[in-house]
Amino acid sequence: MEVSFSHEIETLRLGAGQTFHGEGILAITKALLQSGVAYVGGYQGAPVSHLLDVMVQAKPYMDELGVHVEACANEASAAAMLGASIHYPLRGAVTWKSIVGTNVASDALSNLSSPGVKGGALIVVGEDYGEGASVIQERTHAYALKSTMCLLDPRPDLGVMVRMVEEGFRLSEASNMPCILELRIRACHVRGSFEARDNRSPAISTRALMENPAGFDYARLAHPPATFRQEKLKGEERIPAARQYIVDNRLNELMPGKHQDLGIIVQGGLYNSLVRSLQQLELADAFGASDVPLLVLNVTCPLVPEQIAAFCAVQRAVLVVEEGQPEYIEQEIATILRRRDIQTRLHGKDLLPAAGEYSVEVLTQGLTQFAASYLPGPAIESAKRWLAGNRERRSAVAAQLAQPLPIRPPSFCIGCPERPVFSALKLAQQDIGAVHIAADIGCHAFGTFEPFAMGHSILGYGMSLASRAGVSPMMQRRTLAIMGDGGFWHNGLLTGVQSALFNHDDAVLLIFKNGYSSATGTQNLISTPEAASREMADAGMQSLTHTNTRIESTLQGLGVQWLRTVHSYRVDKMRATLKEAFTSDFNGLKVIIAEGECQLERQRRIKPWIASLLKKGKRVLRVKYGVDEDVCNGDHACIRLSGCPTLTLKDNPDPLKVDPVATVIDGCVGCGLCGENAQAATLCPSFYRAEVIQNPNWHERLLAGMRGTFVRALQS
């Protein structure tokens, strides 16, 4: 069973007079429907996954409204959907995770922004920046600048965020430019409420179809010579129209304060953190009223020069709070002031860090320096005491520890089918020698951490096979590329497999086929097994049999000749298959498919199933693994080979032995990896397999009673 969003879907139905309560990203989803969006597409990825997931599961309601929803193969195909708004008055929205998603979509975005749009086009981007991010540390701002698109960065308040969605469509239509709405992690997950409005069915929709396509207009194509005129339109018409709309509709917020000779210009998404920081300096109250005038940029591109100049002209100093680098906004403000000969002192990255997330503590450090120069007083000392208190609290916690806490990077889930493959790869390299491994984005990227520490590069989702192309010819031994089924369908099929076959590359590709796009939230793929197949797998505790489009048939159709499919948990067989791939006389691409369902998704399905069986009083058999403490020799090779969180240590019960023994704790899901590793690596035979039977049959009860009697007799 998939994660259910039934409650979230019901909140999408709220109408005028009702109050929405919930998360920011769900509020954005509701705002799209209130704005009369005609089509929605995207590619999943934190922190905006819920937008697309909820809409996909809400298909019956979307059909009622006439809204078309499409889960796209990648971000490029999502961005290309917005081509519908070039000729037609259709409001469209797409979503993906930034900045990696924007990189993939950049070709389509450039070709969209050049001719411009007629219907409103909105791109909802999860600005995954800072210490909580799982992507490279870059910003979306550069794309808005280079392609001349509007960039909205709404203040993290649900009412403001919803308004910016609605205004974003209008801004796009007024300027003929696509608009990007960037949402930081905190904005996506901020909770609040707003007064809902009725959802609007689009005038043109899946329920109200167009009879004829638009007439041919070469000027609407992103193709020379039309592109030369389009480039002029950006500066002569579109940007001025956007600036006029921003001013007329007060999209940026001016918040006055009593210190009128100072000011702060802040990205909308950083407003909450800034106000909390000002409170430490006694420059803001608990309700957000600031003593220092604020210009909150809910639209960070384009800036309005007149608005910036008017704000700065009456002040002796202004601080620009801009997260990330380069400081695009600060540089543009400096240019605006210099061209108008405004001598206001401008601060920004001279007081705040050039890179990294602007937490409240980081902002307070910069604001303390700013206030010390222009507002000396007791509040400065108060802020310094607060910062010092934070440092003391951290030191006090550290002092309570006998030694520093060990580094604990993220790891595979318990029972993950990818863990045994890395164990097999570790064993295979003991026989064939070390190999160059091109890693990839996805759950399998956890293989770069201990205890495996494998992977020489990560260059993009599904790009592993392509990224080893420059290394393979220089290596005496074949190279290995790793990707998941999500990465395979996203990008790997064309950029990797097709290219390797075309160039007759001699390499090894390992594909994890776990049935879902697991790293982004276990969304379905074209190769996701059907429900009937999953039920059969559960009943027989066997690997999934795919009943629709298969990765294997696609590879064979493309021309792959050396292809092996191995059950992920068969460590010994996987090791032998890897050795075969690296030593085979076959000169060409060799593909190994490691098949094993994502354990998270499997547990979501079988736990309710087991609970229903127990409730009915039916027999349930589950497998558990354990360690015989008397046999364990305490060398812990089993832990170093698997790294499973449920395989850990405890004190040795034998008083004559000092080394702790291995033990399996309650979180074990019975995948059997510990036993497989013990056999494949010839470890000590301390693991045992136990079958736990609930609601046993009468003959099982009888047999258990007889065994118990016999054991007690032997013990006495």
Number of domains in the chain: 4
What is the domain extent for residue 372?
A: 253-399
pLDDT in tens, 392-410: 888 887 778 777 777 777 8
The dihedral built from the CA positions of residue 573, 576, 582 and 585, taken in this order, carries a sign that is negative
pLDDT for position 549: 59
Of the chain, the percentage scoring pLDDT greater than 90 comes to 67
The listed range with the strongest mean pLDDT (168-182, 202-216, 701-715) is: 168-182
Q: Are residues 445 and 572 in the same domain?
A: yes
Q: Are residues 574 and 446 in the same domain?
A: yes
Classify residue 177 as exposed, middle or buried by CB count within 10 Å of its CB (0-12, 13-18, 19+): buried
pLDDT for position 535: 45
Q: Are residues 568 and 646 in the same domain?
A: no
Q: Which residues of 306-344 are buried (b: 16+ CB within 10 A; e: fewer)?
A: ebbbebbeebebbbbbbbbeebbbbebbeebbeeeebeb
544 has pLDDT over 60:
no
pLDDT for position 3: 64
Q: What is the CATH number of the domain that holds 268?
A: 3.40.50.920
550 has pLDDT over 90:
no
pLDDT for position 547: 41
The pTM (predicted TM-score) of the whole model is: 0.89
Query: Is 300 domain-assigned?
Result: yes
Grouping H, G, I as helix, E, B as strand and the rest as coil, residue 457 is strand
Q: What is the CATH number of the domain that holds 142?
A: 3.40.50.970
pLDDT for position 541: 37
Last residue within a domain, chosen from 229, 248, 267: 248
pLDDT in tens, 75-84: 999 999 999 9
Using 50, 70 and 90 to split pLDDT, how confident is the model at 283? very high
Query: Is 611 domain-assigned?
Result: no
542 has pLDDT over 50:
no
pLDDT for position 45: 84
Query: Is 613 domain-assigned?
Result: no
Cβ-Cβ contacts under 8 Å for 541 (sequence gap 6 or more): 623
pLDDT for position 407: 74
Using 50, 70 and 90 to split pLDDT, how confident is the model at 50? confident
Using 50, 70 and 90 to split pLDDT, how confident is the model at 539? very low
Q: Are residues 12 and 104 in the same domain?
A: yes
Q: Residue 696 to residues 406, 626, 679: CA-CA distances in angstroms?
A: 44, 22, 31
Query: Which is more confidently placed, 226 or 604?
Result: 226
Q: Are residues 372 and 225 in the same domain?
A: no
128 has pLDDT over 50:
yes
Last residue within a domain, chosen from 195, 223, 248: 248
Q: What is the CATH number of the domain that holds 678?
A: 3.30.70.20
Q: Which residues pair with residue 5 across a beta bridge? A: none
711 has pLDDT over 60:
yes
Provide mean pLDDT across the span 351-365: 93
Query: Is 609 domain-assigned?
Result: no
Q: Residue 692 to residues 292, 330, 612, 621, 689: CA-CA distances in angstroms?
A: 66, 65, 17, 6, 10
Q: Are residues 240 and 257 in the same domain?
A: no
Grouping H, G, I as helix, E, B as strand and the rest as coil, residue 56 is helix
Q: Are residues 217 and 263 in the same domain?
A: no
Q: Are residues 148 and 111 in the same domain?
A: yes
Query: Is 411 domain-assigned?
Result: no
Query: Is 614 domain-assigned?
Result: no
Using 50, 70 and 90 to split pLDDT, how confident is the model at 497? very high
Per-residue 3-state assignment (H helix, E strand, C coil) for 129-198:
CCCCCCCCCCCCHHHHHHHCCEEECCCCCHHHHHHHHHHHHHHHHHHCCCEEEEEEHHHHHCEEEEECCC
Q: Are residues 74 and 218 in the same domain?
A: yes
Provide mean pLDDT across the span 150-170: 97
Query: Is 315 domain-assigned?
Result: yes
Cα 10 from Cα 505, distance rounded (Å): 52
Cis peptide before 404 (omega within 30 of 0): no
Grouping H, G, I as helix, E, B as strand and the rest as coil, residue 649 is strand
Mean pLDDT of the chain: 91
Cα 653 from Cα 70, distance rounded (Å): 58
pLDDT for position 531: 58
CB 281 within 8 A of CB 383: yes
Q: Are residues 386 and 456 in the same domain?
A: no
Per-residue 3-state assignment (H helix, E strand, C coil) for 244-277:
HHHHHCCCCEEECCCCCCEEEEEEHHHHHHHHHH
511 has pLDDT over 60:
yes
CB 521 within 8 A of CB 544: no
540 has pLDDT over 50:
no
Q: Are strands 150-152 and 179-184 parallel, antiparallel or unpaired?
A: parallel
Provide mean pLDDT across the span 68-74: 93
pLDDT for position 308: 98
pLDDT for position 622: 86
Q: Are residues 592 and 631 in the same domain?
A: no
548 has pLDDT over 50:
no
pLDDT for position 2: 54
Cβ-Cβ contacts under 8 Å for 192 (sequence gap 6 or more): 21, 24, 27, 157, 158, 159
Grouping H, G, I as helix, E, B as strand and the rest as coil, residue 508 is strand
Count CB neighbours of 3 within 10 A: 13
Using 50, 70 and 90 to split pLDDT, how confident is the model at 537? very low
Query: Is 662 domain-assigned?
Result: yes
The position carrying tokens 């910069």 is 366
Q: Are strands 590-595 and 150-152 parallel, antiparallel or unpaired?
A: unpaired
* Range scoring the smallest mean pLDDT among 351-355, 507-511, 604-608: 604-608
Q: Are residues 647 and 543 in the same domain?
A: no
Last residue within a domain, chosen from 561, 577, 602: 602
